[in-house]
Structure 1
Amino acid sequence: MIEVELKAKLEKDEILNFIRKLEDLGFKRIIKKEETDIYYNGIDRDFRKTDEALRIRKSVNMDGIDNMDIKYVRYYLTYKGPKMDNISKTREELEVQVSDGETTKKILEKLGFKPVKPIVKIREIYKRDDIEISIDEVKDVGNYVEFEKIVEFTSEKENAINELINLMKSLNISKDKLIKTSYLELRDKNE
């Protein structure tokens, strides 16, 4: 699976207007959740140098279940390969849901993987067809919007990037606002 992703800075005072535009284009709000990402560095190589990522994500549904105040928690183990181009954050992504996040953390650490300070964000997801848009409020980093489309083959990547760029333009986000920097890198720059 290839995750085609574009990311741009979104100022806090732009969020409500941005959401209205999304809804006008037929996007529906899917979920609001808190995500805590713990990244790990490689044993035999430095993932910062190889542009790879290994993380455990704890995802807490903030909407509750069936209008009840029950929050469910899910954990995911994710590997992301190096970025595939100079425009987007497109990369191979392998992800599996794990039933026990704490045990998964212990396994990685027993194998020698070193955790780094977690990234915590509130994420609101909107979806239309096969495009997902996430509005993120990232602790110690700021507000961002991510445009994402999953494709199966590398040959589909360029069309997906162009589709997302055109969508961004229709939402008044210019191509020069694109950033390829991860939240982890942005947070480390701020510290």
Structure 2
Amino acid sequence: MGARTGGAAVAATAVLVVADLAGALARTGVAGRAMPLPGSADAREYFLDSPVATLVAGAMALVAAGALAVLATAYRELTRHARRAGPIVSGAVLVLGAAGLAHLALGVLAPVLPATAVHALHLVAALGGGVLHVVTLGLVVTVLARSYGWTPGLRVTGAIVGWAAVGTLLTLVAADLVPFAGVALLGLLVWLAFAAHQWAYADQRH
């Protein structure tokens, strides 16, 4: 497996899981008020009243983006033969990075930004940290799952959870399906945790 990447995969996955869950908790208002949907009349009021939660969500999105980039580097051997692996991973990292920067901008600048700018940043933050993150991470998992480096069971489950996550795009037109995105994200994170464990175990044997 070349350089020892098992430890890097485990560490990056752990950081990604913690950052994703912490960011989700911040957005859903576990300690207070949940972030409203883009276009909501009370969106500006939310960012004025909840700067800490907004900044935490932004910081966690940036941390998760960095962890995903490290994870992709650790798994480069598995994805080097997949034509679309690079653009897919880059897209997933950029989506999270944009969401993180949008959250940070809202947390700091919401009091002085015009309403149109707040709504635009809110849309980027909500989509990039929500359904688009789930969809792009799902595509990353489907690419990883195609490798014969995993056990058959992990390959099959990766394809299932990955494509199920891509299906969360439907939440953009069917609001009732929004909770499915959270379930899909948990499925992806669990799969990545098992994958990192298997990769580290195999790495130790070489």
Question: What TM-score range do you get, normalising by the shorter chain?
Answer: under 0.3
Q: Normalising to structure 2: TM-score of the pair?
A: 0.24
Between Structure 1 and Structure 2, the one with more helix by share is 2
More contact order relative to length (CA 8 Å, sep ≥ 6) = 1
